[in-house]
Structure 1
Amino acid sequence: MKHYFLLFAALCFTAGTAVAQSSCSQYYPLVEGTSLQYTNYDKKGKEDGQMEYKVTNVAESGDSVSATMVLEFSDNKGNTYTSDYGISCDGNVVRIDFKSLMNEQMMSQFGEMEMDITGTDVELPNNLSVGQELPDSNVNLKMKMAGAVNMNMNVETINRKVEKKESLTTPAGTFDCYVIYSETRTKMMMGNQTQPSRIWLAEGVGMVKQESYNKSGKLMGSTLLTQLSR
């Protein structure tokens, strides 16, 4: 589940229209009905689940496009989870709803507690280049627990940087990718935790691969694009 959460924090799945891709989003296939299937692997390289993203509710307004990404996740134990989040592009920037950092199964752990969620959306410009630094993003969650005790949780995506370009082959094809490094920093009452990750991002496709690491840099899990349907 930790790897699944980090994958949300990587935030590299999108959708839209063919017109939008040329004028609004360079790296994401913003076409309604697009489906991307990913396979998750544990730290030993053993398959431990699959995810499928589908593009829905695409809407255009001038040079702007908005859409909904619907996710279905299944693990090897037969558990299935669903979630969705909004995405939009305007000009040369794609923005992903900051609430996507708080996926539904994470939220379900807090039961019926009152919650207040604020944050900043994740941004990805169309003009990526090696060495480029990308804006941070964050989400803040305030929860009111029994006995009027409040608990705060903060999740930040920080130190985002385009490291390099390289070609990557998966069961879905061969792609020229930018490799983007970032760190997910989680702050809660019981302590803080920072975990690095990398994503491989291809033009017109979105995320092709993702790896998450522990604080020592050891691989903890990965995700690979295994099927692409438009």
Structure 2
Amino acid sequence: MKTKSLLVLFFLIGIISLTAQDNCSKFYPMTEGVSMEYTNYNKKGKVEGISSYKVTETNTVGNTTNATMAINLKDEKGKEIYSTDYKLSCTGNMVTLDYESLLPSDMMNQYGDMDIEISGNDIEIPNDLRVGQNLNDANVTMKIGMSGINMNIAVDMLNRKVEKKESVTTPAGTYDCYVVYSENQSKMMMANQVYPSRVWLAEGVGMVKQETYKKNGDLMSSTLLTAYSN
């Protein structure tokens, strides 16, 4: 259960990184029908899985845009390991995620009486990104309760900064990106770990590339945009 919980948590972190940019920001179009495919690699460049995202529904009421995103995660052999829909909304320059709908019903059925609560602060990507800019911290917390025992898992995204601009070529195309650095601090029981990361963001597309490192700077894993359709 511990491993499963960690996988779900870090998958949610990835979701927030992708959806924190939308049509309220020029860095990601929250438009019905837009789809993205990301391939996940280990430190040796071997494929570990593929994540697919698709905006299935959008509507605008006043100055708030709401959307439903379908997500599918498969392992390196193509076997589905996670699938769900979740909702997000955007007003001004801020995205709000419906955290409860991120929990798939099959996972809830599997764990029966286990109680899971997810909360956090959204990742903000302002329209006026510039090199050297410091960005607000963000966090996600998961509280798991079963048979009177509670386990808390938290990930804080700290020291976020726009490092540089860089061109990135992927199977989906070539993109001019802003590179955003952060330090992801995970807390689970008595264990605290820090994983620095970089995200490459392109206007009109969102995340194009992501790398996660050990504390000493060695690459742990990476994610690459391998297909994009609007």
TM range (shorter): 0.7 to 0.9
How has the CA–CA distance of structure 1 residues 119 and 38 changed in structure 2, closer, same or farther, with 3 Å as cutoff? closer
Is the Cα contact below 8 Å between 1:36 and 1:54 reproduced in 2?
yes
Is the Cα contact below 8 Å between 2:20 and 2:124 reproduced in 1?
no
Which residue is equivalent to 1:12? 17
How has the CA–CA distance of structure 1 residues 3 and 207 changed in structure 2, closer, same or farther, with 3 Å as cutoff? farther
Residues 1:202 and 2:202 are matched in the alignment: yes
1:124 match: secondary structure: coil
| Alpha-carbon distance, 1:67 to partner | 1.2
Q: Higher relative contact order at CA 8 Å, sep ≥6: structure 1 or structure 2?
A: 1
CA distance in 1, matches of 2:125, 2:200: 13
TM-score using structure 2 length: 0.83
The 5-angstrom pairing of residues 206-221 of structure 1 reads: 206-221=206-221
Is the Cα contact below 8 Å between 1:14 and 1:29 reproduced in 2?
no
Is the Cα contact below 8 Å between 1:182 and 1:198 reproduced in 2?
yes
The 5-angstrom pairing of residues 110-189 of structure 1 reads: 111=111, 112-146=113-147, 148-189=148-189
CA distance in 2, matches of 1:3, 1:169: 28
CA distance in 1, matches of 2:96, 2:198: 18
2:29 match: secondary structure: coil
How has the CA–CA distance of structure 1 residues 121 and 219 changed in structure 2, closer, same or farther, with 3 Å as cutoff? same
Structure 2 gap segments, 5+ residues each: none
Percent identity over paired residues: 50
| Alpha-carbon distance, 1:31 to partner | 1.2
Letter in 1 for 2:38: Y
**Root mean square deviation of aligned Cα:** 2.9
More moved, 110-119 vs 64-73:
110-119
Q: How many residues align?
A: 221
| Residue deviations 1:113-147 (CA, integer Å, cap 9, x gap) | 2233332222221111111111112233333332x
| Residue deviations 1:8-37 (CA, integer Å, cap 9, x gap) | 425332499xxx83xx22110221011111
How has the CA–CA distance of structure 1 residues 15 and 65 changed in structure 2, closer, same or farther, with 3 Å as cutoff? farther
| Alpha-carbon distance, 1:103 to partner | 6.5
Is the Cα contact below 8 Å between 2:38 and 2:225 reproduced in 1?
yes
Letter in 1 for 2:121: T
